[in-house]
Amino acid sequence: MQKTLSVFLLSFFIYSCAEKKEERPNIILIMGDDIGISDIGSYGGEIETPNIDRLANEGLRFTTFYNMAKCNPTRSSLLTGLYTGGNGAVHLANLTKKAGYFNIMSGKEHFDSWVPEYCKAENVFDHSFYFWATTEYFLPPSGEFERPFFLEGRELNAAEIEFEKSPMYKTDFITDYALKWLDEAFQKKDPFFLYLPYHAAHYPLQARPEDIKKYRGKYLKGWDKIRQERFAKMQKLGVLLKAAKLSPAENNLNKLRGPLIPDYTDYYPWDSLSESQKDSLDLEMAVYAAIIDRMDQNIGRVLKKLEKDGQLENTLIMFLNDNGSCPFYSNKITDVQPGPANSYWSLRTAWANLGNTPYRQHKQCGHEGGSHTPFVAYWPNKIAPNTISHQPGHVVDIAPTFLDVLGIQYPDSIKGHTTLPLHGSSLLPVFMGEKRKEPDYFVSGLENFRMFRSGDYKIVRLNGGEWELYNIIEDPTELVNLAVSLPGKVIELANYYESTPIGSKLNISNKR
């Protein structure tokens, strides 16, 4: 009898452990590119994003979530949990691989120089399709703008890319590869990690005609009125701190990223424009909206596949953007209007300012418009539906969150190097509806546009100038610079910043 009981208990223990392993969630991490916080429907926008909105409405929205304000530093920090590092950095996919996950990536890879070679996609993912930095959405019109794509580390030209819908469009074929590998993942007993960093809505402004048609004419009312409408919707949705006020529209103040062409980089009232100018600008924004719409459609393809195969209920999905909307003039072809494959336009400041409603400034900047974007977490039966958190988070918090979700310890070494300590802390308590201990500080923005936040206060600068100071709780949209009235706080935060890994590594003597 005793032996039978022992065998039963042992069998129950083994079964329980196996069942616990099976309950580990699949993880999907989706990233948009150069999209403002209010461009997403569930954060106030009129652009149709029903699939992202579904994740938001059935999951959790952060009202304050920081990135590094530019493509490559955000990706570097997101995937390693470090503000800066080097050998000893651990990629998220190293963590999921350690936990027995099947790892897939399809999309944009773009790292800072400090990220080790062993963190590159072909070295950490079981399957990877990726490209570096900017590439066209359609097959490029000539070799002049063509950039390489990579499949499992092998360079492809555009003609070798597999795609389902003609003409080939980047957002679609990024998803095509992901769906193909999900079929393989579903056949395995192990959970999977899918990293899906889209390029949308980075320039150039190219979109499918049927998507552009949905938005043509919707922006003739102009950026001034739509910005007011978005702000009102954000307030109604509850995705702003209560103290938030709509910041005044302003020019792109970035003097270190040119050329500064007034038509693109300066704000001007919509009513001051001619009807033909309004029509042209309506097209520009319609194409931008269409790019985001197409990204959302593809997220819908992923959700549909998960549902069809019974995987959605056990999948943690996170959506974020790499930085705020981009206002820089990058036009290479100006004699063709935005939209088709033979055009190459970028979004102008006034539309980017709309995307970053109600915040100030844009991509690269540590001001909230550049560094503060959506973060949505969806996890059925774990995260309470339609919840909103005002607790701040940062992309460096994702790696510690993975450790908590995976139930594993951070490795002591990697590739012969002692691992670097993570700079963030887990978001899992927030996912579970609890209050977490707020990290000691947050960093964002390029060095000349750096922001450093600790507690209620934040210092930030423009063009390498003097630090500005804001009480970010009482003044979330940075309207009242307290640097003159509270010089001691500026010095305190500046010294603190210089003591952090990123501040001390740069060894910058900051202006007080």
Q: What is the DSSP secondary-structure string of 197-246?
A: E--TTPSS-B--HHHHHHHTTTTTT-HHHHHHHHHHHHHHHT-S-TT--P
**Percentage of the chain exceeding pLDDT 90:** 85
Cβ–Cβ < 8 Å for 393, 430 = yes
Is the per-residue pLDDT at 310 higher than 80? yes
**CB proximity list for 145: less than 8 A, separation 6 or greater:** 136, 332, 344
**How far apart are the C-alpha atoms of 469 and 482, rounded to whole Å?**
5
**How far apart are the C-alpha atoms of 417 and 110, rounded to whole Å?**
23
**How far apart are the C-alpha atoms of 394 and 322, rounded to whole Å?**
11
More confident residue, 16 or 337: 337
Q: How far lies 171's CA from each of 167, 303, 342, 385, 411, in Å?
A: 12, 15, 17, 28, 34
Mean pLDDT value of segment 82-109: 97
pLDDT, position 259: 86
Largest CA distance in the chain: 92
Which CATH architecture describes the domain 9-100+193-437? 3-Layer(aba) Sandwich (3.40)
Q: Where are the beta strands (DSSP E) in 463-507?
A: 468-471
Scanning 309-348, the segments in alpha helix (DSSP H) are none
Token pair 């890994």 is found at 501
CB atoms within 10 A of CB 279: 14
> Tokens standing for 456?
């209620």
Least confident of 12-16, 196-200, 351-355: 12-16
> Tokens standing for 376?
């949505």
**Sorting pLDDT into bands at 50, 70 and 90, what band is 7?**
very low
> Tokens standing for 437?
């201990």
Fold for 450-512, please state it. Answer: Arylsulfatase, C-terminal domain (3.30.1120)
Is the per-residue pLDDT at 11 higher than 60? no
**How far apart are the C-alpha atoms of 137 and 341, rounded to whole Å?**
7
Query: Position 444: which residue type?
Result: S
> Tokens standing for 463?
């063009």
**How far apart are the C-alpha atoms of 248 and 270, rounded to whole Å?**
14
Is the per-residue pLDDT at 22 higher than 70? no
Burial class from Cβ neighbours inside 10 Å (0-12, 13-18, 19+) for residue 385 reads exposed
Closest CA to 341 of 170, 199, 157: 170
**Percentage of the chain exceeding pLDDT 70:** 93
Domain ranges of the chain: 9-100+193-437, 450-512
Burial class from Cβ neighbours inside 10 Å (0-12, 13-18, 19+) for residue 337 reads middle
pLDDT digits (tens, 9 = 90+) for 132-191: 877 789 976 544 556 789 999 999 877 889 999 999 999 999 999 999 999 999 999 899
